[in-house]
Amino acid sequence: MAVRISNAPVTGARPGAVAVDNPATGAPITEVASTSPPQVKATVAAARKAQPRWQALGFRRRRALFRASQQWLLDNRARVLDSIVAENGKAREEAVIELVYCVNAFSFWSRRAAGYLAGKRIRSVSPFVLGRAMRTRRAPIGVVGVIGPWNNPLTNSFGDAIPALAAGNTVVLKPSEQTPLTALLMLEMARDCGYPDNVFQVVPGAGETGEALIDEVDFVMFTGSTRTGRRVAARAAERLIPSSLELGGKDALLVLADAPLERAVNVAVHGALFNGGQTCTSVERVYVEAPIYDRFVAAVGLRIDEIRSGAPRGLGSVDVGAMTFPPQLDTIDDHVRDAIDRGARVLAGGNRGAGPGRFYEPTVLVDVDHTMKCMREETFGPTLPIMKVRDAEEAIRLINDSEYGLQASIVTRDSRRGAKIAARLEAGAVTVNDTQSNYFALGLPMGGWKNSGLGVRHGAEGIRKYTRLQSISVNAHPMRRDLHMMPFSPKSYDAILRLVSFLYGRARRRP
């Protein structure tokens, strides 16, 4: 889910290494050696050499390894959760969601990969290909490079590797330099579960490592900011290799006048504050129809008072954790100050948190409008700006007035009306009376419109993108010479034109 990827190593590390700290406490955890461009080149070469054997294993044997991986995650859940919480600073419950996602993903892709990638028989009505047997097949693309973000070090880093592996590719993962430890734990998992050597590899490092990876692999899966995504796409295009990009978002929530109030409040607060708002599908702006606005704002204020923020100490200790990426605090504060300067009112929060960790108070802003950064630019923090609108038509216009189009949500008692409004919103995914749950429906494609990305993850398209499509046509009983072949004959081409006129001309038309 979309984050900003730094091009510089984390400060405080030795040359050639990145330092990893705990965002919730500020305490250093460890240093991880950066992967140099020559090392990246060698790593990809090893992956390319291993790929044919991995492909030859077939879906059934890969499925067995995926089942072992599921069990490994469950058996080692405490280590995995500890790793995510320590390097990311999120609440332990949010780390559990990441674990559940990957356990589910191993199951889903092991069961669906073969069907999604099965060849298809093609029928043609053209008389010029009669007698040909035509079909398509899909082949692994080769070596997939995954460049992951810091906000979900398991879900959006290793999670994107799972369908690529299921399709028969080898994978080289570059995790964010802020959160490399969970990816390295997945490397341990692959070894423990018996994956062949070099099928899955991890190359920690900063921007230089990522650039080197793009220069070597056959496909790039990138999750990050729109600005960095453009650079990734341009670098991939220079090599004419495909890429899939999940980029920035400014996801909107529309609360209609008939909305069940408690559900609307829960969708808004959870959607905005889950993972500290550091999620590409976070609710970043709310539009509420005038008749329900005052009651909605009052109920949100009461609910925010119940939210606990701070360093996680286990399940049930906090609701909102730390800000993982240090510069993100400046962005959040800039958006809040800009809103206040332009006339917004702070209903709750509005300040950086105290203590050694990186925190921002869960913040509710009212009296906001589209002149403010908090309604137009990606904030990526625990903020909830709420705007009153006359009616749904005004809200639809304002929601679509954005450079982003990743996801949106609607709350209403009339689900049919909600679905009709959803079809008018310029977003790649829309949920009605829900928020973010669609991400766990792995059969449902998810991808951004506008500046929110290219391509999708999940569903058939989410694994087919990791393959090359080949068409095969077999003429099992060829004649010595087809009618259209050289040397050209006026008689033959006159026959062709008469046949075309007979099949497609006015004489064959039906009223």
CA-CA distance, 485 to 465, in Å (whole number)? 37
Give the model's confidence band at 355: pLDDT under 50 very low, under 70 low, under 90 confident, else very high.
Answer: confident
Neighbouring CB atoms inside 10 A of 414's CB total: 14
Give the model's confidence band at 478: pLDDT under 50 very low, under 70 low, under 90 confident, else very high.
Answer: very high
Beta bridge partners of 254: 287, 410
What whole-number percentage of the chain has pLDDT above 70?
A: 96
94-135: pLDDT as tens digits: 999 999 999 999 999 999 999 999 999 999 989 889 999 999
pLDDT at 377 over 70: yes
Give the three-class secondary structure for 66. helix
193 is known as an active-site residue: no
Burial of 426: CB neighbours in 10 Å, binned 0-12, 13-18, 19+: middle
- What is the average per-residue pLDDT within 420-436? 98
pLDDT at 330 over 70: yes
Report how far apart, in Å, the C-alpha atoms of 127 and of each of 424, 453, 477, 498, 502 are: 42, 41, 15, 13, 12
What whole-number percentage of the chain has pLDDT above 90?
A: 93
Catalytic residue among 94, 98, 102, 280: 280
- What is the average per-residue pLDDT within 431-451? 97
- What is the average per-residue pLDDT within 207-230? 98
Catalytic residue among 93, 94, 216, 246: 246
Give the model's confidence band at 506: pLDDT under 50 very low, under 70 low, under 90 confident, else very high.
Answer: confident
Contacts within 8 Å (CB) and 24+ apart, 229-236: 229/453, 232/147, 233/454, 235/211
Give the model's confidence band at 284: pLDDT under 50 very low, under 70 low, under 90 confident, else very high.
Answer: very high
Beta bridge partners of 18: 32
- Average per-residue pLDDT in the chain? 95
The answer to whether the CB of 33 falls within 8 A of the CB of 16 is yes
pTM: 0.95
Joined tokens for residue 126 = 């053209």
pLDDT at 4 over 60: no
Q: What is the pLDDT of residue 509?
A: 55
The answer to whether the CB of 417 falls within 8 A of the CB of 411 is no
- What is the average per-residue pLDDT within 278-293? 98
pLDDT at 392 over 80: yes
CA-CA distance, 190 to 362, in Å (whole number)? 38
Q: What is the pLDDT of residue 508?
A: 55
Give the model's confidence band at 11: pLDDT under 50 very low, under 70 low, under 90 confident, else very high.
Answer: very low
Report how far apart, in Å, the C-alpha atoms of 76 and of each of 86, 90, 96 are: 16, 19, 12
93 is known as an active-site residue: no
Give the model's confidence band at 14: pLDDT under 50 very low, under 70 low, under 90 confident, else very high.
Answer: confident
**Complete domains list, the chain, with CATH:** 36-247+459-468 (3.40.605.10), 252-446 (3.40.309.10), 482-511 (no CATH)
